[in-house]
A and B are shown apart, each in its own frame.
Chain A
Amino acid sequence: MNVLLDAVGITKSFSGIRALDDVTLRVVEGERVGLIGPNGAGKTTLFNCILGTLRPDSGSVILNGVDLGSLPVHRRARMGMGRTFQRIELFSDTSVAEHLLIAERVRQGNGALWKDLLGRGRPTSDEIRRCAEVLDLLGLTDLAEEPIETLSLGQGRLVEVGRALVTGPRLLLLDEPSSGLDRAETDALAATLAEIQREKGFAVLLVEHDVELVAAFTDRTYVLDFGRLIANGPTKEMMADADVRRAYLGDLEVGR
C-alpha cells in the first residue's frame, strides 16, 4: 500500500506551552484515519502543522514522498490536501455556488489578469457543471444561489466539505465536523461523507469529539493527550483501551 502522508516527529510550542511533542502519524492512500483526544490536546495544532498554517519547531511533513519543508499553505493545498475548519470558515457575502466555483478555478490554475480584464474571467459552463455535480453529491443543489449568511451551521459544514472536495484532494482533513451539529445532522453528515469517500477514494484524517462518528467512520485511530500520542491502532481496539478511556472519557465527564 502507498503511504500518502507521513508526519514525523512534529513538535510545536506556544510561548512555553508544548502543544505537540514529537508526534508521528501516517496515512495510507484511501485510508480513513481518526485522531481523537480531549480539548486542548493539540489536534487542531497538528492539522495546522501538517497544512503549513503553522511552522512546527521540529519534525517534517512528507506528502507522497516529498518533504514539504516550508512550503506555504496554498502550495500544499494544490498538492492535494483539503481541509475543513473547527470554527467554520466561509467567504462572507458570497453564494454557496461561488464557494465551489472559485475553488474549481484555482484547481485549474488559470487566473491570469489579462483574462479578467478582457472579460474572460467569469465561470465557464464546464466549471459550473463540475460544481453542480459536487453540490448534487452533498445535496446542496437547492441552496446553490443562497447567500452564505442564510445557511444553518450544518449546511455551512457541508459547503466547507464541498469547497474542499472541488479541489480534488487526495487527503481530506476534517476538523471536528460535528461540532455544533445535533445528532441527526451529524448522522446525515457522516452518511454523506462515507458515501462520497467510497466513491472518490481519497484518504481522510478525521479529528472528532463525537465518539460514535469516529467509531462509525474510521478504521484506525490515533489518540492524542497533552500533545503526546498515547496510542494508535484499529479504532475498535482504541475505543476499548483503558488508557484512552481515561484520557478521553474523563474529559467528556468534565465537558458534560
Chain B
Amino acid sequence: MLLAASTGEDLLRAVLQGAPPGSVYALIALGFVLTYKTSGVFNLAFGAQAYVSAAMYFQARNEWEWQVVPALILAVFILAPLIGLVLERLIFRHLSNSSAVAKLVIAIGLTVALPSLFELVTGFSAVAGRTPTGIIPGGSSVFYDPFGIYPLSRDELAQMAVALFGMAALGALFRFSSLGLALRAVVESPRMTELSGINADRVSAFAWALSSLFAGMAGVLIAPRFNTLMAPDFFHLVIVAIAAAAIGRLASLPRALLGGLGLGIFIALFNTFLPRWTADHGWLRPFQENLTPSMPFVILFGVLVCWPAIRREHRVVDPLSGVDPPPPGLAALTRNRRLTLITRVFSVSLLCVIGVTVLLRADVRWLFLVTQAVILAIIYLSITVVTGFAGQISLCQGAFAAVGAFTVFQLADRYDLSVLAAALVGAALAAVVGAVLSLPVLRLGGVWLAIATLAFAFFFDAVMVKFSWIGGGGTSLFQGTRVPRPTIGPWDFADDRLFLVLAVVAFTVVSFLVIQLREGTTGRMLHALRGSEMAAESIGISPVRARVTAFAVSAAIAGFGGALLAIHQENVNYQNNFSPTAALFWLVLVVSLSARTIEGAAYSGAAFSLFDSLVLRGEVFRWIFRGWVPGILPISPKWRFVLFGLASIQFSRHPEGLVEYGKRRATRRFNERFDRRERDRASQETSP
C-alpha cells in the first residue's frame, strides 16, 4: 500500500515538475508547425531567436535597468516578431520554390549567424554566473506547494500561465479573426488554400511574426533555468520542440501542443524514476548520470527512428500535387583546354609559393593556423562526400571526427600505440559508427535525416563523451586528453614544420581517394541517385547501399581528420574542436563555399582557420601595404559566424557553392570572350 501511494505521489510530482518546461516546449513547437506549414521552412533558427530575445531582455533589465514591462515589450513583442518578419520578407519569401533541404541549410546558417550578429550589434556578452532573471519578482525564490508534493516556483507558474495564455490567444485568433482563420486554413490544408485564393504572402508573414514571438517568449521564460545566458542552451530547447512537433508529423497544432507538454512530463518522469532503477542496478548508474541532461536528444532520435509516420514515404508523389522541384541544374559547361591548363599551372605554382613561404618564414602562430587549416580541410572532405556527392545533410560530422580523436587518445594513452596507426584505427571505428548510424537514419531522408544526425551529435556530446572509455572521464579533467606527436624513423614530427608537411601529405592522399571515389562506381551511383532516385533504382542501383557506403567513407575521413587534429594540438580539446555547434558551423561553411569539390574543402579549411587573422584582424593588408591596416580593422572574430552564416543563404540558388559558382561564371565569361576573338579573327581572314 505504502509503495503504491508513494508511486502515485512520484507521478504527480513528475507531472508538476514537467508541466512548466513542457508548456514552453509546446509554445515553440506550435511556432514550428506554423512556419513549417505556411512556408515549408524547418526553422532551426528558433533556438537562436529565443536566445536573442532572452539576451535582449537580460540586457534591458540588468544593464539598462529597465522595468519588467518595457523590457518585455522590447524583447518579446517588438524584437522577436521583427526578426521573424525580416527573415520572412528578406529571405524565405523568395525561397518558396526551393527544396526543403535548401531551406534547412539556410536556417542552420541563421542559427550560426543570429546570436553573433545580436552580440555584435548590442555589445552583449554572457557573464558567467550572472543568472538571468525571470519576468516576476522573486521568480526563483518564492514557492507555492498546493499539493504538498512539489513546490512550484513563481517562475514555473509564470511559464505555465504565459504559455496557456499564448495558446488561448492563438485559439481565439483562429476562431475570430479573418487572418487567423486564413492561417488555420493554410495549416490544415495548404492545397485547399491555393485553390481558394487566400493571400498566402500575408498569411506567411503573419505566421512568421507570430511564431517568432512565441519563440522569443519561450526564450525569456526558460532563461532563468540556465546559469549563464548562452546560445547553445537555447538550441537544446528547439531540439525538444522539434521532437514535439515531429510527434504530430509537423502537421497538427494540437498534437504539437500535447507533444510539448508530454515531453516535458516524460523527461521529469524519467528523471524521477531512472535513479530508482539504477539504485538497484549499479551498472546502470553511469548511463543515468549522463542520460538525464541529454534526454531531449535521445527522445528526438527515438521519435524520429521509431515513430512510423515519419518514415520516408513521399517517394512517389501524386502527379497532381505540388512537388519539391528538382535542384537547379548546373549550366552545362565545357571548359576550354588552354584555360584549364593555365589555371592549373597558376594555382599549383601559387600553392607552392605559399607553401614555401609558410615553411621558411612563418612563426609559430602562423604555422599552427596553416596546419590547422590543412587538417580541417581533410575533415571537410568528409562533408564533400556525404553532402556534395550523396546529397545528404549530416550534422554529426563533429561526432565522427571526435571518435577518431578519442581513439588516438585512448590507444596512445593505454597501449602506447603509435598515433598514426591509432589514427587509422580511429578512422575505421568512425566508419563503423557512421555505417551503423546511417541504417536507421537513411530511412528518413531529407530534412528528417539531418535532424536525426543532429540529435545523434548532441547525444554523443552529452552522453558518450562522458564515459571514461571514450572521453577519458574524470582523469581527463585533471590531466587533459593528451596525445603525443609521432616519430617515423629519423623524422620527429614534434617539429611543427615537419608536421605541416605531414598534414599536407595526408590531405593530398585523402583528396586523391575522394577523387577516386567520385570517378568510380560508388561516386557515379551517388551522382545518379542525386539526379533522380527513381531512375537510379530502376536500373538496379541500391540507394541504401550506396548511401551507407557514402556515410561510412565520410565518417572514416572525418575520424581520420579528427585524429590528426588531436595529434597536431597534442590534445583532443573536444569542446573547442568537435562540439555539435562547431560542427554546425562546419557544414554552413563548406556548403556556402563549395561542397562538391576538393577545392571547396580546402577553401573552407582556410576560411575557418585563417579568415580571422588574415581579414578580420587585417594581417593581409599589413603585408600588402607594408603595415597599413584599414581603420575599421581589426574587428571581432564573431563576424566570421555572421558572414558565413548569412552566406549560406545563397545555397538555394547556387547549391554548388560560392567558389564553384564563381569559377563557372568566370569560365563562361572567358569562353565567350575567347569565342568572340576567334570569330573576329575568322572574319578578318575571310574579308580581304
Contacts and interface: CB of A to CB of B under 8 A. Distances in A.
B439 to A, nearest CB: 15
A126 to B, nearest CB: 15
Nearest to A120: B520
Interface in A86-119: 86-87, 89-94, 98, 101-103, 105-107, 110-113, 115-119
A103 B539 contact: yes
Contacts of A74: 537, 540-543
B535 A72 contact: no
A118 B532 contact: no
Contacts of B315: 53
Contacts, number: 130
A58 B539 CA distance: 25
A166 B539 CA distance: 9
Nearest to B529: A91
A121 interface: yes
B185 to A, nearest CB: 19
A137 to B, nearest CB: 17
A48 B538 CA distance: 10
B527 interface: yes
Contact of A89 (B522, B527, B534, B553): B534
B329 A85 contact: no
A113 B554 CA distance: 13
B332 interface: yes
Contacts of B145: none
Given A54-B316, A77-B540, A78-B540, A121 B521 contact: yes
Interface stretch (B72-80, B262-270, B364-372, B511-519): B511-519
A82 interface: yes
B326 A92 contact: yes
Contact of B525 (A54, A82, A102): A102
A119 B532 contact: no
A164 interface: yes
B531 A93 contact: yes
Interface in B403-427: none
A82 B539 contact: yes
Contact of B330 (A77, A93, A103, A119): A93
B527 A94 contact: yes
> Chain A contact residues (Cβ within 8 angstroms of B): what range?
35 or more
Contacts of B538: 51, 73, 77, 82-83, 85, 89, 164
Contacts of A116: 516-517, 519-523
A166 B541 CA distance: 13
B519 A121 contact: yes
B537 A77 contact: yes
A107 B522 CA distance: 14
A93 B520 contact: no
Interface string B481-524: 00000000000000000000000000000000100110111111
A111 B525 contact: yes
Contacts of B685: none
A92 B319 contact: no
A160 B534 CA distance: 12
Contact of A90 (B525, B532, B537, B542): B532
A251 to B, nearest CB: 16
B519 A122 contact: yes
Contacts of B327: 92
Contacts of B536: 91
B528 A102 contact: yes
A89 B535 contact: yes
A150 interface: yes
A44 interface: yes
A102 B516 contact: no
A250 B519 CA distance: 52
A92 B316 contact: no
B549 A113 contact: yes
B520 A91 contact: no
Contact of A106 (B527, B532, B540, B543): B540
A163 interface: yes
Contacts of A102: 521, 524-525, 528, 539, 541
B332 A91 contact: no
10 closest cross-chain pairs (CB), A and B = A121-B520, A116-B520, A91-B531, A111-B521, A147-B332, A89-B535, A73-B537, A77-B540, A89-B532, A78-B540
14 contacts: A72-B542, A73-B537, A74-B540, A89-B538, A92-B327, A92-B531, A102-B525, A102-B541, A103-B539, A106-B540, A111-B522, A112-B521, A117-B513, A149-B332
Interface of B: 315-316, 318-319, 326-327, 329-332, 513, 516-517, 519-525, 527-528, 530-532, 534-543, 549, 553
